[in-house]
Structure 1
Amino acid sequence: MQHPVSAPLGVTVPNYADRMGFAQLTRQAFEGVNLQPLRDQLVERITAGAAHAGEGLDLSLIVQLLGDKAAGLAIQSEVLTFHQLFRTPSAASKPGLRVLALAADIDMGGNTPIEFLLEGSDIELLTLYVVKGAGLPENLPDHDVAIVVASDSEECREALALIEKAAPNWPRPLLNRPELIGNLDRDKLYRLLADIRGLEIPVTAHATRAQLSDLVQGRIACADITGELRFPMIVRPRGTHAGVGLAKIDDVPALAAYLAERQEQDFFVARFVDYASPDGLYRKIRLTMVDGKPYACHMAIAERWDIWYLNADMMFSDEKRAEEAAFMLDFDHAFAARHRSALDEMGRRVGLDYFIVDCAENQNGELLVFEADNTAVVHNMDSPVVFPYKPPQMRKIFAAFTAMLSRHAKAGEGSAA
């Protein structure tokens, strides 16, 4: 039964379905395990009517990991029509904390991969999918603390709206409030952070295909879209992440060629910032913000401006890894200290308990922010042989995250008392 969001929310013994879950299956795929036999086994169980809902959701993820996103999402949506609550058991025989994650029916990258953050802990994770037509249950599963893991994407808007309406009556502490997650959208983030001293964030503006076509035809100028826009510019389809459709456009002919290759109708545009270091290399940094404090997640170093950790070839360069190791070791007294004021103010304005920032330092030494979200993968899957400095850093982040959950859970107990 869908919950009337204006009424108080109760709690009840959870009716969950167990699953292998995101972290376990993604780790197997990352390590090169062939998931096809498990896929076939689950398909056989479903065909025979012997599978439970958790296995159906695992199958959805496996199919996505094998490259068929559309089929995986179709399986997930079908499963969620009859069951919305799933459990990822803790490493401990008796959980020390029960966390309820509020997710949306979206692809595998659209919800916070919280399972990675809880790996090895004594925390039991329940994930409740808030889906169209089902909404929130009349009685929530019992939990100590809840956290919204749905993203700021269009596909999550309805789920976030349902959670936001219910939030004032939530029976336990609710983290990453839904009304704040929407501020992570690229154009909104600029407006939120624009005047922070020591921080640069280019104006990110929405541009329609018609506007960009008019720009190509000379009917409008760059400034007609947004005042500071000029060539070279960065263009990407609205709603995409991980570099899908991202391009540096140097002039009008390049923009015409880009539009000819894309089918989307809506885009984000921003001026290009050359953030190359004096040695000509680009350094892109991922920070994890937990409880208002920044933690180093990685530093990708490459000759190209459009860096992701995987295309920086860090594993093939001893020199790059040595620099990243030093960056992590000295982070609190170097990078974080240099940008403490800007980071503190950014954390205060964003207001989320947990989020991720992709950033760099511009050529004036300021904090250059590219984007922020709550769903980037923060993991401990890299080889400890190749990256021996990473496991301690990741465990530091995970410990901060679980400590934050525990602190809020205890505060909730105090307020309830």
Structure 2
Amino acid sequence: MPRRRPGSLCSRSKMLHPVSAPNGATAPNYSDRIGFAQLTRRAFEGGNLHPLREKLLARIEEGTAEAGEGLDLSLIAQLLGEKEAGLVIQTEVLAFHQLFRTPCAAPKPGLRVLALAADIDMGGNTPIEFLLEGSDIELLTLYVVKGVGLPATLPEHDVAIVVASDSEECRQALAVIEQAAPHWPRPLLNRPHLIGNLDRDKLYRLLAGISGLDIPATVHATRAQLLDLSEGKIACQDVTGELRFPMIVRPRGTHAGVGLAKIGDAPALTAYLAERKEQDFFVARFVDYASPDGLYRKYRLTMVDGKPYACHMAIADRWDIWYLNAYMAFSEEKRAEEAAFMLDFDSAFAARHRNALDEMSKRVGLDYFIVDCAENRDGELLVFEADNTAVVHNMDPPAVFPYKPPQMRKIFAAFIAMLSRHAKAGEGSAA
């Protein structure tokens, strides 16, 4: 089936308005959906999402679709690379329905979790569904939408968690939740005012001075400043004290390496700016964290209830590593090292950096977050970034990565135990 252009999806999405009635998001007025985890897994495993997309579009055109199906259609569009079309559909759905349910695997839920999300692309909210896969937890997701806010009556739940990110698009949603937070009827995890500290230009200030932890100052620089720097009108130190060439530059607000570059000198900065249209950037000093064998090793840690867990280890001959461009699936030697990293994590990596990790967890203050890091040449924990929305999943093929499913289940179990602990504490305080 040929791929439909984003514009055609947008035009067909105009018929979403008959889907379900507007709601005040009071229990039990939710709409069921397939959800992020199942649809992403289908795409990841090479499944064909086109037939499901056509089925959902047909139901919308007939006026028989539910709001949850509209949200599923939005996600399918994004997974097929049609982000703009998907977001148009999502915004139309959320204009009249904000509460959605992802049913649990058990016949009767053992716990009800309310996730507070923002109207943003599929990577902008914590993908909590992956963490709850196969559990007896019923997930309700309440989207905090501009101009609508929180409902007068919240749906019944045992524990709530904020899943909106620290991005600028989520600021208003976080502010609405923060205003209601002091009077929240159940335990509320990942408080919104703490999520804001994960911004690149705030995190380094928050973590400054931690013994054994290295985090470069990441500061905002305008296009005009960088042009002046490239022309020798100002020095690196005029932007921030520790800045020097080579430096790391990226457009503000981008993720997943979009626009990220290592700039070696002023002429390279001139060439970089000529290729970019953005007006605002983040700059930081470059840290060469190559190991003695010349390879770079980048780690992703999941922090749950103050405890670190190994999520993955990427090994490559380039400094700008993501797990995908490290091609771990094609190297038995790399996978063996990652397996050892996970197996010995508590007694090795976590033990070496225990003090730094403990202090970082205290300062960040979130119940759940993710850290991308490495070790610098002095053996310190080199922190690149922290956020609450990175995908932690169990989709990698066990035939290739047999060591991953047990590790992911360990993380999921810790996350569920954290939710249960807070839920029970909430019952005690309510009593």
Relative to the length of structure 1, the TM-score reads 0.97
Q: In structure 2, what is the Cα distance between the partners aligned to 1:404 and 1:11? A: 26
Is residue 42 of structure 1 aligned with residue 36 of structure 2? no
How many angstroms apart in 2 are the aligned matches of 1:264 and 1:128?
33
- CA distance in 1 between partners of 2:79 and 2:149 (Å): 27
Q: Structure 1 pair 328/127, CA: closer, same or farther in 2 (3 Å)?
A: same
Q: Could you tell me which residue of structure 2 aligns to residue 289 of structure 1?
A: 303
Which of 331, 339, 363 is the equivalent residue of 2:345?
Answer: 331
Q: Give the match's secondary structure for 2:379.
A: coil
Alignment-derived partner of residue 151 in structure 1: 165
2:44 to 22, 30, 55: 30
Q: Which runs of 5+ in 2 are unaligned?
A: 1-23
Q: Is the 8 A contact 2:26 2:151 kept in 1?
A: no
Question: 2:319 corresponds to which letter in structure 1?
Answer: W
Supply the AA of the counterpart residue of 1:87.
Answer: R
Give 1:194-343 correspondences, 5 Å limit.
Answer: 194-343=208-357
Secondary structure at 1:135 match in 2: coil
1:353 paired to 2:341: no
How far apart in 2 are the matches of 1:59 and 1:43?
8
Residue matched to 2:17 = none
CA distance in 1, matches of 2:178, 2:285: 34
- Provide the alpha-carbon RMSD of the alignment: 1.0
3-state DSSP class of the match of 2:340?
helix
Q: Distance in 1 between matches of 2:212 and 2:147?
A: 46
Distance 1:240 1:27 in 2: 25
Q: Percent identity?
A: 85
How far is 1:12 from its partner?
5.2
What is the distance in 2 between the residues matched to 1:278 and 1:287? 23
The whole-number CA distance in structure 1 between the counterparts of 2:76 and 2:25 is 32
Matched, 1:403 2:417: yes
Letter in 1 for 2:369: F
Q: 1:87 aligns with which of 101, 112, 115?
A: 101
Structure 1 residue 363 corresponds to structure 2 residue 363: no
**Match for residue 17 of structure 1?**
31
Partner of 2:101, secondary structure, is strand
1:97 aligns with 2:111: yes
User: What amino acid is the match of 2:406?
Assistant: P
TM-score, normalised by the number of residues in structure 2? 0.94
Which is worse superposed, 260-269 or 149-158? 260-269
Q: Deviations over 1:67-99 (max 9, x none)?
A: 011110010000000100000000000000000
2: distance between equivalents of 1:136 and 1:403?
27
Gaps of 5+ in 1: 1-9
Q: Aligned residue for 1:125?
A: 139
State the Cα deviation string for residues 23-59 of structure 1 (Å, max 9, x = none): 0000011001111111111111111111110000000
**What residue in structure 2 maps to residue 69 of structure 1?**
83
Paired residues of 2:25 and 2:151 also in contact (CA < 8 A): no
Q: Structure 1 CA distance, aligned partners of 2:254 and 2:304?
A: 25
Q: CA deviation at 1:312?
A: 0.2
For residues 264 and 15 of structure 1, the distance between their equivalents in structure 2, rounded to whole angstroms, comes to: 43
Tell me which residue corresponds to 1:175: 189
SS at match of 1:370: strand
**Local SS of the residue matching 1:333:** coil
Give 1:13 deviation, angstroms. 2.6
**3-state DSSP class of the match of 2:182?**
helix
Shift in Å at residue 210 of structure 1?
1.0
SS in 2 for 1:139: coil
- Paired residues, number: 408
2:178 counterpart residue number: 164
Q: Is the 8 A contact 2:119 2:143 kept in 1?
A: yes
Q: Once the 2 structures are TM-superposed, how far is the Cα of residue 244 of structure 1 from its aligned partner?
A: 1.0
Structure 1 contact 11–142 (Cα < 8 Å) conserved: no
Separation in 1 of the partners of 2:365 and 2:282? 24
Local SS of the residue matching 1:315: helix
In 2, Cα distance between equivalents of 1:258 and 1:21:
39
Confirm or deny: 8 A CA contact 1:84 1:130 kept in the other structure.
yes
Q: Could you tell me whether the CA contact under 8 Å between 2:105 and 2:134 is conserved in 1? A: yes
Cα shift at 1:11: 10
Q: CA deviation at 1:178?
A: 0.1
Spell out, residue by residue over 1:181-212, the C-alpha distance to the aligned partner (whole angstroms, 9 max, x if none): 00000010000001000000000000111111
